[in-house]
Structure 1
Amino acid sequence: MNASPADSRVLIVEDAPANIQALTAILREKGYAISIATNGRQALDVLAAVRPDLILLDVMMPEMDGFETCTRIKASAQWRDIPIIFLTAKSETGDIVRGFELGAVDYVAKPFHAHELLARVHTHLAMHRLRRENEQLVRAESENARHRSVAQMVAGVAHEINTPLGVINTAASLLTRWLAEPVMVTLAKTADGQMMAEDLAEAAGLITRNAHRAHKLVQDFKKVSVNQITDVRETTSLAETIEETVNLFRATARRSPMQVMFTNNLPQPRGEWTGYPGSLSQVLLNLLSNAQRYAYPEGVGGRVEIELSADPPGMPDGYQITVRDFGQGIPPENLPRIFEPFFTTGRGQGGSGLGMSIVHTIVTAHMKGAIAITSTLGEGTTVVMHLPRTVPA
């Protein structure tokens, strides 16, 4: 991937006005944004305020030379990955080697030539961007592997929990049956016996209802987890797939105050769908996690609504899934780039910039659907997906 000058900022650290003027003219003509520092200490101050994509660093400067400046930059975890190209009038091998040992990626000898300078700047910006994106891909793959491991673990735990749940349900059924035995019916005719029988019946009903609820949750977890591991094309209920995913999110995000509500507006509530339930679960979990992370302040939470309906008139025969939050919204200038790989405004919150790109790819390429996003600052964000009733094999 080539680095675009319009997206790149270069910090020039140089004390000679003529060199500053020449470097600025060469780089600005190609569209690079420029920051300037006239000595090493000022360069560190600029770095604290503006993060450049590359640094052109003069070696010979008063107060703090380029070697010491480079050493301090590379000592900072925040700045050490910024590529540095030394500008030097020296051509001695020792100085060049020292620069590389301190972490510089290249050097340009003075007097410099515009074509050589631009070629080196462009090359190292492109290499830096490719290296950064490769690291993000590795992290994303590690995250996917972690999700698969968690899904396998959840499926296994769900299977194991079914046995004690069956025992609990059987015990509750036995308790209910014993209450109907003649001896218990006779005992219940006494004042104390009646109160005891009513309490036991209420306890048995409570156990049974909650055992059934727990069993359904376990089945939901197991189904979603297995689907995410295997993800085969199958005919299923779209409404049930969404409800199962929402239940899984509610359980895994129990500490979050975010409320997720699912509304099924289909005339035929089941919503028969032939597609990939595991992939759809991945999309919905990603959208819900984004709302949890970005839409609302940490620890505050809010409301997210998911609606399932038939595609409106004029659309191909299929389903529409709407995911809507009421949080802080997305700035208008960022909306066109939401589905771009690696674009994120939340790196400080752990965002890799791949989540929404993956969502877009799954919906459009894998499930042959469409996805659109709208947002208003201070009012929230709405994601609308259209899925065909039958996803082509």
Structure 2
Amino acid sequence: MSHDRDRMKVLIVDDDPVIRQHLRQILKDIYKLSFATSGVTALEKAQKLMPDIILLDIIMPEMDGYETCRRLKTCSVTANIPVIFISSITDIDEIVEAFKSGGVDYISKPFKSHEVLARVETHLKLYNFQRFLGKKVEEEINKRLVEEQMLIQQSKMAAMGEMIGAISHQWKQPLNALGLMVQDVVDAFVTGEADKKYLENFAKQSMKLIQFMSQTVDTFRNFLKPTHEKCTFDITEAIYDVVDLFYDMLKNDSICVQVNTDKMCSIYPIGYPNELKQVILNLINNSRDAINERRKKGFLTDDGRITVEIKEVKDRVVVYISDNGGGIGLTLMEKLFKPYVTTKGDKGTGIGLYMSKAIIEGKMDGKISVSNIEGGAQVVIELPLAKEV
């Protein structure tokens, strides 16, 4: 016999002492029993004791079994506890009402011991299985949430790394200029040229360079800020923001980026502009890496080319991002948007396209797809068009 505290708990609700005693004799050696003589008491005991199953009579004073069961099911604490009705009522409509009120089974009085044992055991097994599944589902959801947060952080860190690289390119020229100007001050002092006008001009030029570098940092800082609410935004402007930030880096790699739009006026989707910029950043960076890799292998002798086309198609904004980086293998194409799948071997994290899909499809109600074109790959992004600007 198992220890009393290890037994499953059964709450028996019946105003008839003979029935209660009969059920006690049947179940006492297997389960931990508690009793209630009315629906009101049953509700109190169910919340306090949290039984694993309830045996419930229908005809009782104050509150009948139907109402008791309905109240048990509307309470979040007791809603999942299985209820087996035990009653002498044999009318089919009454039995149907028992199930409609939330019961899982119905035992007619007078009942047999083996029938009660079998039905209680069956529903306890089902209840335990449901709890096990619920726990497993909850664990899996929590695991997925943790993994999702890790992917988001990794994606942000990867984006930050790209931006630091872009900052270094944007700062290289002004830092060199500032260094030459500082060295020239020493020479000007030696030769006697460092007069008031010279120093004023030196200060003016130095502050101009420092202001440019400071503005670059502010731009990158704003780039990383998440957009908290959906809004309408100029998609051409958002894409140019990314291209402008990485212009020096792309120019250094002999890659030309061209942005085309089929309308003279701006096109306004609705969504999260900074998150979209992160997607565009990732896609342009993927194209850049593919072009550099193709050039390294000797398959590309011309300049790299990335083309961004923005079109308005009915109620959608469609963005086509194409390159001449050689395209993507068919085996990778099928699983490209899954986490940790990368076309870059050990150099890639495999989270960029996964997060891009999560942003475009999960947050912005859009679509993203990849296909091969002549000489390279093309990513297509569709976003809902703002109804009002």
TM-score for the superposition, normalised by structure 1: 0.45
Which structure has the bigger radius of gyration? 2
